[in-house]
Structure 1
Amino acid sequence: MKKIALFPGSFDPLTNGHLDTIERATNIFDEVIVAVSTNTTKKSLFNGEERIALAKEVLKDVPGTKVVRHTGGLTVDMAEELHVSAMLRGIRNMKDYEYEESIAMMNRSQNPKIETVILMASEKYRFLSSSLIKEVAMFGGDISEFVPSVVNQAIIKKYQDMSDDEHM
């Protein structure tokens, strides 16, 4: 049976930490499905279509990956519909662990057939978060070593466009 993992997230933006987790997961699973969702508790920099397009561009040369839109509902239900055996999560620290543990336990209560697999972030990415990336970029900082090139260019353009709109 094919081993498929679902890696859900808002990926706003997709970072090198996300990419590292996805690439490492392809060594464990036959397929990693990246489910791009909307985090209703955060203000997004990119809309859903933009995030999906960026993820597809970043992952186009990573064998065993696929990008899909998570359109709502429970992620664990989506996992069952896609016939995945595991939910993939990346964590950076104990705070992430505690948060992910709660979600994993709730998911297990909803569907005991879906396991949660947690990968520790690589050391060089442990401090990275999408929120931190956006904040540094918003103030003109160099984030090029923390995001894929296509994402970096999209972020620069997005903030330039936002700045141009403010000056009109």
Structure 2
Amino acid sequence: MRIGVYPGTFDPITLGHMDIIRRAAHLVDRLVIGVTTNPSKSPMFTLDERLEMVTRETEGLPGNVRIVSFDSLLMDFAEREGASMIVRGLRAVADFEYEFQMAGMNQQLNDAIETVFLMADVSLQPIASRLVKEIALYGGDVSKFVSPAVAAEVRERVERIGRKGS
């Protein structure tokens, strides 16, 4: 069985993430979406909230998709899941430089697991969770970048924590 892991913080899950998930699910027998913490990021949503969000957004997708959390090295997680590939989405050259370095480090840790890069659909390439949060925090409309349910959750969270520039 060919298993792929698509890791991320998904804070929040965007239409770009969903594009990569849909396409990656066709490449493997099982796609494991690994929702993780990232010490260098300040999440808007808790890990449990992000797990719920990703689970809801991926319901009904064709293929064998599983959502789990992890808090370890990516390669340790991939090994535990029995993965033969890591799926990463690319938006721009800046993404490639970072991802290329990470793929090289991961290969040093386990050269039996390949990193596969998928380009996001051209219309979705500018979308980044970080920018979605920033737009929302300044009162902008994020509905072009996330599903309606996620947009509502982001608006609700911003109302709770307070908008910037008010």
Structure 1 length normalisation: TM-score?
0.93
Shift of 1:141: 1.1
How many angstroms apart in 2 are the aligned matches of 1:118 and 1:15? Answer: 18
Partner of 1:47: 46
Moved over 4 A (4+): none
How many angstroms apart in 1 are the aligned matches of 2:24 and 2:41? Answer: 26
Partner of 2:15: 16
How many angstroms apart in 1 are the aligned matches of 2:93 and 2:140? Answer: 27
Shift of 1:73: 2.1
How many angstroms apart in 1 are the aligned matches of 2:86 and 2:138? Answer: 35
Does structure 1 residue 89 correspond to structure 2 residue 88?
yes
Partner of 2:66: 66
Partner of 1:27: 26
Partner of 2:129: 130
Does structure 1 residue 100 correspond to structure 2 residue 118?
no
Partner of 1:119: 118
How many angstroms apart in 1 are the aligned matches of 2:82 and 2:148? Answer: 32
Which shifted more, 144-153 or 110-119? 144-153
How many angstroms apart in 1 are the aligned matches of 2:10 and 2:66? Answer: 14
How many angstroms apart in 1 are the aligned matches of 2:42 and 2:14? Answer: 17
Which shifted more, 155-164 or 78-87? 155-164
Shift of 1:163: 2.7
How many angstroms apart in 2 are the aligned matches of 1:139 and 1:106? Answer: 37
Q: What do residues 103-156 of structure 1 show as CA deviations (whole Å, max 9, x unaligned)? A: 111111111110000001110011111111001111121111210122111101
| Secondary structure of 2:151 counterpart | helix
How many angstroms apart in 1 are the aligned matches of 2:52 and 2:72? Answer: 22
CA RMSD, 1 decimal: 1.2
| Secondary structure of 1:107 counterpart | helix
How many angstroms apart in 2 are the aligned matches of 1:137 and 1:62? Answer: 27
Between the aligned residues of both structures, percent identity stands at 36
How many angstroms apart in 1 are the aligned matches of 2:94 and 2:82? Answer: 30
What letter is aligned with 1:145?
A: K
Shift of 1:31: 1.6
Partner of 2:152: 153
| Secondary structure of 2:10 counterpart | coil
Structure 2 length normalisation: TM-score?
0.94
Long gaps (5+) in structure 1: none
What letter is aligned with 2:76?
A: D
